Amino acid sequence: MKIAILGGGGRMGQMIARDIIADPRGAQLVASVDHAQSPLLGRDIGEVLGLGATGVALTADRDAAFDKADVLIDFTAPPASAEHAALAAQHGKALVVGTTGLSPEQEAALKKAAEKTAILYAANMSVGVNVLLSVVAQVAKMLDDQYDIEVFEAHHRHKVDAPSGTALALARAAAAGRGVKLDEVMVPARHGYTGPRKPGDIGMSVFRGGDVVGDHTVTFAGTGERIELAHKASDRSLFAKGAVTAARFLAGKPPGLYGMKDALGLS
């Protein structure tokens, strides 16, 4: 299986390349693409990672990457991910999208592309988070609105979107368990004189600082008790491994929009 990385010069892109180079398991890295202003353009990705030359240099040529690869892995920015989905449909290539912060319009672009090719879109590619999503939905279904739901997430100072894609996915899971639409009950921030909390609200709290890889906690707060469901990531490489697992799953799949639950057999 031939894999190309979109966003290859970024943190996640480099980690995905490292995972493929160190343990191919039937996968071959054939291209690594970054934006035109990247200082790493022209350099061999293996040498960037301190692993020795691989023959794969970082370029800005997206079309060449789509020509070479069977599956492409995208960790870029929302506008670029939407463009890459259209290119995937045009070239008939499978695409794994791990970019977070997509707007409804950009998510719609992924769904449209999935009519012509296989697209896997996930806010988080770890096994633990995807198990947590299922558990949160089940607990929300079991508890009525006498239990207030609050989602807390913490990430490093460099993260540019908030709330995180994983936090939003957890909030959606809780809303689905309750049988409500998230956009009708979500309270993304509180400031000033807010008045008492309304029954059924799903609150969101965000922390940014230091080098936190990713912490997520969903609290169900009742009278006299709290239930807390949490996932804490201590090594960012687990997301890279999840992305490669997703690529292996997606290779050869028919057109459609898939998720990590499909790739991990949790559906």
Which residues form the catalytic set? Answer: 155, 159
Residue 158 buriedness (CB in 10 A; 0-12 / 13-18 / 19+): exposed
173/175 Cα distance (integer angstroms): 5
How far from the centroid of its chain's Cα atoms is residue 17's Cα?
17
Strand extents, DSSP E, 34-86: 58-59, 71-74
For residue 25, the Cα-to-chain-centroid distance in whole angstroms is 23
Order of strands, sheet of 214-222, starting from the edge strand that comes earlier in the sequence: 186-187, 202-208, 148-155, 214-222, 225-233
Residue 16, CA distances (Å) to 74, 104, 111, 155 in order: 10, 27, 24, 20
CA distance 96 to 190: 35
Exposure pattern of 89-113 as b/e (b: 16+ CB <10 Å)?
Answer: bebebbbbbbbbbbeeebbebbeeb
Parallel, antiparallel, or unpaired for β 214-222 and 225-233?
antiparallel
Cα–Cα distance measured from residue 136 to residue 228, given in angstroms and rounded to the nearest whole number: 10
CB 260 within 8 A of CB 36: no
